[in-house]
Amino acid sequence: MADKLIKPHGSDTLNPLYVADDAERAKLLKEAQTLPSIVICSQAAANAVMLGAGYFNPLKGYMGLQESLKVAEKMETNNGLFWPVPIVNVVKDASSIKGAKRIALKDPNVAGNPVIAIQNVQAIEEATEEQMKFMAEKVFGTLDEKHPGVANWMSAGRTFISGPIQVLNYSYFATDFPETFRTAPQIRELIQKHGWKKVVAFQTRNPMHRAHEELVKMAMKETGADGAVIHMLLGKLKKGDIPADVRDMAIRKMVEHYFPPNSVEVTGYGFDMLYAGPREALLHAVFRQNMGATTLITGRDHAGVGSYYGPFDAQTIFDKIPKDALKIGIYRGDNTVWCNKCKAIVMVRNCSHTNEDYLMLSGTKVREMLSRGEAPPPEFSRPEVAKILADYYQSDRAKE
């Protein structure tokens, strides 16, 4: 049955780096206590989770400096595999592991910094400021440190620790989001269990309003998909973004009320947002292929932030990569809005009406309404979803 699903990226079978055997994992955790150790940055920990969960198949661990430069510039690994973003373990100070061939990586995001992975060290290399900037410019398209991705990249350190890893846990994602966090093999199993042949994946770091709901329905209809995986980011976001647990509740409520039974799986993955726009859209496609989706919905300003990218840059970048780079298809979404004349949610490119006919609400305006306890118009947000969000915006958590 497994061979019926789309092939993973770069290999015939999925190779998650999580050590699934309990006895083997216990042995490695014991060994980790005897190894030189280092607390890694949040992005490196998220990379470990993605490697462990099979999303970054077929990578075996963290890239070295030269490979990172090559991936940033040419979007390919040392062995010629298409890959859009360097996957690295970068630290400020590696003196605690100097000369070590095998090290324990400690999780910065969990109390007590437990070991998240063991790494075989191939090299410890120092990047220059110029090399860090070169990679930032290629990946993020800017060097502006107001860009949250650039700020994270430039502040994490310049020492690259490369080599294969064995992942021992999924950080806080599996414990904080037990109903939502799923690995790539688990999502493949869900797809098989449903018997879905064509599957669209929807990426989100926000709650879903009616426009998003319709976008998923349009994509399913136009691609002939019999299932959708709503796949939400569970990791770190920028200030002001809605926490994952609130978003999760809101999305589940929408699916329960407005999608046919057994047509949608609500799941999540453990990664910190890069806000890398086009490059991140490519990475999204890679790991959605690994989890078994046949189409990725790329929306307007997909994975963007501020006005760093054009509204459709994350779609046109797919026209610039080699034809055989990915097996997954791309569904290109336009701005999706309520049209007062059509009395429906429409994709702007398919509608002959004008901006005056559309209900346009900015995120800021919606947040203001919700924080006053007002529901946005039903054309914009389902009432059940609006209630969950209004409760959050009026709570003390939203003011922190």
Q: Cβ atoms within 10 A of the Cβ of 220, count?
A: 24
Active-site residue among 206, 252, 332, 367? 206
Q: What are the residues facing 297 on neighbouring strands?
A: 202, 331
397 is catalytic: no
Give me 285's structure tokens.
């496609």
On the 0-12 / 13-18 / 19+ scale of CB atoms within 10 A, 367 is: middle
- Whole-angstrom Cα distance, residue 108 to residue 25? 20
206 is catalytic: yes
On the 0-12 / 13-18 / 19+ scale of CB atoms within 10 A, 47 is: buried
Active-site residue among 102, 158, 205, 332? 205
For the beta sheet containing 295-298, the strands, ordered from the edge strand earlier in sequence to the opposite edge, are 264-269, 227-233, 199-204, 295-298, 329-332
Give me 262's structure tokens.
């057994």
HSE of 37, CA atoms in CB hemisphere, 13 A? 18
> Which residues are the active-site residues?
205-206
